[in-house]
Amino acid sequence: MNPNGKVALVTGAGRRVGRSLALALGDAGARVAVHYGRSEQEANETASLIESMGSQAITVQADLEHPEQVKQLAADVLNNLGPIEILVNNASIFDKVGMNDLQSDEWDRHFAINVRAPFLLAQVMKHQLTGDTPGKIISLNDWRTARPTRFAYGITKTALSGLTRTLALAMAPNVQSNEIALGAILPPVDISLNRPRNEININLGPADRMGTLNEVADAMMMLIKNDFITGETINVDGGRHIQ
């Protein structure tokens, strides 16, 4: 697929990784729906940056915890830009709650945002893409999904891998569904890295550095351009998953 002129929805695109993916799509000529939950100002800035590149952009607000808002998000993209051809499931929550303290509402919230919303968006996308119109789904995952200290996050990211592969079958042959499993790219918002490197206990893997936003965007663009990769996980983690 050539992303030029295609309609792309990036969830959680106001800031951080999502913003850089939206900008890469805008730079490639895609017409980008910049979704946000709370970061309205940052989403407007992302959209302005895309427009300054000469590409079309809109912002759309939705709380992904609520299915009706997820469906409204997809409808808003359809009404303003057209059927979603590229879906980037970037938005996610990452709460630091271990097994002992995890309550069922927190479990449900992780599943709603991290798994159900990507599923509902894919389902609507399937309805929106008529005939053999091509499409791409790219979901952002994590190099490590068994995480006792972020218990629900890890479980939902494991489920997201299952969703990625199941969508690759359910939406074949015109839609390819893949995921990018990230290593350390940006520190989580609840962790400060404002300390000397030797005081930070993070194993960065063989690459021994954090990844860059451009390296993530490059992997996304490769998956968009290559139509023969589907159901795949691309680790963008400096080799951390093999250590």
Ligand X SMILES: NC(=O)c1ccc[n+]([C@@H]2O[C@H](COP(=O)([O-])OP(=O)(O)OC[C@H]3O[C@@H](n4cnc5c(N)ncnc54)[C@H](OP(=O)(O)O)[C@@H]3O)[C@@H](O)[C@H]2O)c1
Binding characters for ligand X, 158-197, by CB under 6 A (x = yes):
------------------------x-xxx--x--------
DSSP 8-state assignment for residue 120: H
Size of residue set near ligand X by CB under 6 A? 26
For residues 129 and 135, give the distance between their C-alpha atoms in angstroms, rounded to a whole number.
8
Q: Determine the interface stretch with ligand X among 59-67, 75-83, 125-133, 191-199 (rule: CB under 6 A).
A: 59-67
Q: Does 18 bind ligand X (CB under 6 A)?
A: yes
Q: Which of 8, 24, 140, 217 binds ligand X (CB under 6 A)?
A: 140
Residues 63-102 that bind ligand X (CB under 6 A): 63-65, 90-94
For residues 87 and 171, give the distance between their C-alpha atoms in angstroms, rounded to a whole number.
13
Answer whether 139's CB lies under 8 Å from 119's CB.
no
Shortest spacing between CB 130 and ligand X, in angstroms: 28
Shortest spacing between CB 116 and ligand X, in angstroms: 11
Answer whether 91's CB lies under 8 Å from 113's CB.
yes
Q: How many CB atoms lie within 10 A of CB 19?
A: 24
Shortest spacing between CB 184 and ligand X, in angstroms: 5
The single-letter code of the amino acid at 63 is: D
For residues 226 and 224, give the distance between their C-alpha atoms in angstroms, rounded to a whole number.
6
Residues 193-232 that bind ligand X (CB under 6 A): none
For residues 174 and 170, give the distance between their C-alpha atoms in angstroms, rounded to a whole number.
10
Q: By the criterion CB under 6 A, which residues form the site for ligand X?
A: 12, 14-18, 36-39, 63-65, 90-94, 113, 140, 142, 182, 184-186, 189
